[in-house]
C-alpha cells in the first residue's frame, strides 16, 4: 500500500510532497483510498464535505469507531504526516480480520480532506465543516493564491460543494475517533517507546500581516525617503521570535508574498503569515497582541501602514480523558502521554465526539519537510497498537 502511495504528489525524486486539496495529486490519493475500500469489500462513502469513509459493518448503525487521518500535504511535505495514519488504519483492519475479530460496532476508516490548509489557508477544512466550526459561507469565501475559490476547486475535482456544512447526524453516530500520526517532535525519540498517546493540542492560529508601503526605484530613492514595507516586515519577524521566546511559546513566519517582487524596486506590499502556538490560550492571545503592536509601531516609524487579520484559530484541545487513559493502559505501563503543538482533525472533532491520538516515534523530530522519517519497526508497532485499540473499542 505504502509503495503505491509514495510516488503520488512528489515534485521530484528527492524532494517533498505537494498534495494540496482538490488538485490532481489529491485526486490520485482519493482514488487510491476508494480502491483500498473496494479491494476489501468495505462500503465507500463520500460525505457532504468531501471526506472519504470506508466502512466495515453497517454505516448507519450507532456507536461507530472511526480511525484514519489525511492524505494531503504541506508544500514539500514528508511521506508520513497524514498517510501513515490512513495506511496503518487499513493495515490494522486487515490484521484484525485475519485474527477473526468479532466487532459489535461498525468500524470506519476516513481520509479527511484538506487537513494542512496548504492551498486555501485554513487547516482541517473537512473536519471543521463537519463539526460546524467552519461554516459554508466561510468556506465559500476561501481562495487560493491564484484566486480560485474553494467551491470552484471542489467542483473542478468533481465534488458538489452545495451541501457543505455541519454533519451533526453523522458525527452523532460515532462513539470514538482514534487517529494514528507520526510524532512531529523529539519527545518519543528520547524514550525507549515507539508509540505514545496524545494528551492535548496547543491552541494555535494563523494571522496575516499586511504592510503597505510605496514602490520606488532601488537606485535613486534615498534611504530617508523610502516607505519600505520589507523593513517593517523584517523587524516584525525578529520581534515575533524574541517575544515568543520570552513567553515560552512559538511564532513562525513561514510564508510571505511581496509586490511587485522586483530586485530593483522597493516593495509596495509585503504580506506575511504568522503561525503562532502556545501551551495556553491566554499566552497565545497576549503573544499575538504583542507581535501585532510591534508590527504597527515599527510600520509607523517606516511610513508604512500595517494591518493584521486573523485567518484561523483553534482553541486548546484536551483529548477525551477516559479514552486517552484506556489507550495508555492498553499499550502498557510506562506508555508516554504527551501534548503536541501540531493541529489535527482529531483535535477539531474533539469538540463533537470523544477523540484520541497515537503518535509513532520520529527519530529526528523533523516534520513538514521532505526529511520527515519514521522507522519501519516503529510504524509496525504503531499499527499493531492501533489494531489492539480498535479491537478493544469495537468488540465491547
Nearest C-alpha neighbor of 107 from the set 365, 389, 333, 376: 389
Q: Are 244 and 290 in contact (CB under 8 A)?
A: no
Give the one entry of ligand GLV, Mn ion, none that residue 85 binds, where binding means its C-beta sits below a cut-off of 5 to 8 angstroms depending on kind. none
The residue (of 81 and 378) whose beta carbon lies closer to ligand GLV is 81
CA distances from 158 to 49, 124, 176, 279, 333 (A): 12, 20, 30, 40, 48
Residue 350 beta carbon to ligand GLV: minimum distance, rounded to whole angstroms: 15
Site string for Mn ion, 338-377 (x = CB under 5 A): -----xx---------------------------------
Residue 123 beta carbon to ligand GLV: minimum distance, rounded to whole angstroms: 5
Residue 347 beta carbon to ligand GLV: minimum distance, rounded to whole angstroms: 9
The residue (of 268 and 312) whose beta carbon lies closer to Mn ion is 312
204-263 residues in contact with ligand GLV (CB under 6 A) are none
Interatomic CA distance for residues 19 and 61, integer angstroms? 33
Residue 348 beta carbon to ligand GLV: minimum distance, rounded to whole angstroms: 11
Residue 116 beta carbon to ligand GLV: minimum distance, rounded to whole angstroms: 6
CA distances from 233 to 73, 208, 241 (A): 27, 11, 13
DSSP state of 367: -
Residue nearest to ligand GLV as judged by C-beta position: 343
CA distances from 261 to 75, 209, 302 (A): 21, 17, 19
Give the one entry of ligand GLV, Mn ion, none that residue 20 binds, where binding means its C-beta sits below a cut-off of 5 to 8 angstroms depending on kind. none
Interatomic CA distance for residues 89 and 56, integer angstroms? 12
Q: Are 307 and 313 in contact (CB under 8 A)?
A: no
The residue (of 96 and 349) whose beta carbon lies closer to ligand GLV is 349
Neighbours of 193 (CB within 10 A): 18
106-165 residues in contact with ligand GLV (CB under 6 A) are 116, 123
Residue 193 beta carbon to ligand GLV: minimum distance, rounded to whole angstroms: 22
| Residue 179 near ligand GLV by CB under 6 A | no
Site string for ligand GLV, 314-353 (x = CB under 6 A): ----------------------------xx----------
The residue (of 81 and 320) whose beta carbon lies closer to Mn ion is 81
Residue 59 beta carbon to ligand GLV: minimum distance, rounded to whole angstroms: 28
Nearest C-alpha neighbor of 367 from the set 11, 8, 77: 77
Give the one entry of ligand GLV, Mn ion, none that residue 82 binds, where binding means its C-beta sits below a cut-off of 5 to 8 angstroms depending on kind. Mn ion
Count of residues interacting with ligand GLV (CB under 6 A): 4
Instruction: Take residue 266 and report the three cell numbers written for it.
Output: 522597493
β 195-201/355-360 pair status? antiparallel
Peptide bond before 158: cis, by omega within 30 degrees of 0? no
DSSP state of 179: E
| Residue 82 near Mn ion by CB under 5 A | yes
CA distances from 291 to 238, 245, 274, 308 (A): 10, 12, 9, 10
- Phi and psi at residue 186, in whole multiples of 5°? -110, 20
The residue (of 184 and 232) whose beta carbon lies closer to ligand GLV is 184
| Residue 228 near Mn ion by CB under 5 A | no
Residue 372 beta carbon to ligand GLV: minimum distance, rounded to whole angstroms: 11
DSSP state of 225: G
Among 26, 72, 81, 275, binds Mn ion (CB under 5 A): 81
Interatomic CA distance for residues 117 and 113, integer angstroms? 9
Q: Which residues bind Mn ion (CB under 5 A)?
A: 81-82, 343-344
Q: Which residues bind ligand GLV (CB under 6 A)?
A: 116, 123, 342-343
Amino acid at each position: 500500500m505504502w509503495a503505491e502511495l509514495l510516488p503520488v504528489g512528489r515534485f521530484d525524486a528527492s524532494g517533498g510532497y505537494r498534495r494540496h486539496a482538490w488538485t490532481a495529486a489529491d485526486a490520485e490519493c482519493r482514488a487510491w483510498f476508494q480502491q483500498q475500500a473496494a479491494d476489501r469489500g468495505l462500503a465507500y462513502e463520500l460525505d457532504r464535505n468531501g471526506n472519504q469513509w470506508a466502512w466495515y459493518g453497517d454505516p448507519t448503525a450507532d456507536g461507530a469507531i472511526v480511525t484514519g487521518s489525511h492524505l494531503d500535504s504541506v508544500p514539500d511535505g514528508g511521506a508520513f504526516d497524514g498517510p501513515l495514519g490512513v495506511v496503518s488504519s487499513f493495515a490494522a483492519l486487515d490484521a484484525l480480520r485475519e485474527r477473526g475479530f468479532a466487532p459489535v460496532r461498525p468500524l470506519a476508516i476516513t481520509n479527511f480532506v484538506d487537513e494542512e490548509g496548504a492551498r486555501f489557508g485554513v487547516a482541517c477544512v473537512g473536519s471543521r465543516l463537519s463539526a460546524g466550526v467552519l461554516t459554508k459561507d466561510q468556506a465559500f469565501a476561501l481562495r487560493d493564491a491564484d484566486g480560485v475559490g474553494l467551491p470552484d476547486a471542489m467542483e473542478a475535482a468533481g465534488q458538489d460543494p452545495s451541501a457543505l456544512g455541519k454533519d451533526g447526524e453523522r458525527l452523532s453516530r460515532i462513539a470514538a475517533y482514534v487517529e494514528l500520526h507520526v510524532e512531529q517532535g523529539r519527545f518519543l525519540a528520547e524514550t525507549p517507546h515507539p508509540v505514545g498517546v496524545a494528551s492535548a493540542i496547543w491552541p494555535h492560529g494563523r494571522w496575516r500581516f499586511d504592510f503597505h508601503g510605496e514602490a520606488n526605484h532601488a537606485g535613486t530613492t534615498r534611504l530617508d525617503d523610502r516607505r519600505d514595507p520589507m523593513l517593517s516586515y523584517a523587524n516584525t519577524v525578529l520581534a515575533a521570535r524574541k517575544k515568543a521566546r520570552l513567553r515560552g511559546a512559538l511564532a513562525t513566519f513561514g510564508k510571505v508574498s511581496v509586490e511587485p517582487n522586483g530586485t530593483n524596486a522597493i516593495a509596495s506590499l509585503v504580506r506575511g503569515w504568522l503561525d503562532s502556538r502556545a501551551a495556553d490560550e491566554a499566552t497565545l492571545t497576549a503573544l499575538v497582541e504583542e507581535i501585532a503592536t510591534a508590527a504597527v509601531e515599527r510600520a509607523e516609524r517606516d511610513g508604512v501602514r500595517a494591518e493584521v487579520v486573523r485567518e484561523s484559530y483553534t482553541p486548546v484541545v484536551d483529548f477525551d480523558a477516559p479514552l486517552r487513559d484506556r489507550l495508555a493502559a492498553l499499550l502498557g505501563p510506562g506508555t508516554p502521554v504527551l501534548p503536541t503543538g501540531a493541529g489535527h482533525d482529531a483535535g477539531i472533532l474533539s469538540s463533537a465526539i470523544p477523540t484520541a491520538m497515537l503518535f509513532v516515534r520520529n527519530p529526528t523530530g523533523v516534520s513538514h519537510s521532505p526529511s520527515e522519517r519514521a522507522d519501519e519497526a516503529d510504524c509496525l508497532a504503531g499499527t499493531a497498537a492501533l489494531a489492539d485499540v480498535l479491537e478493544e473499542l469495537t468488540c465491547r
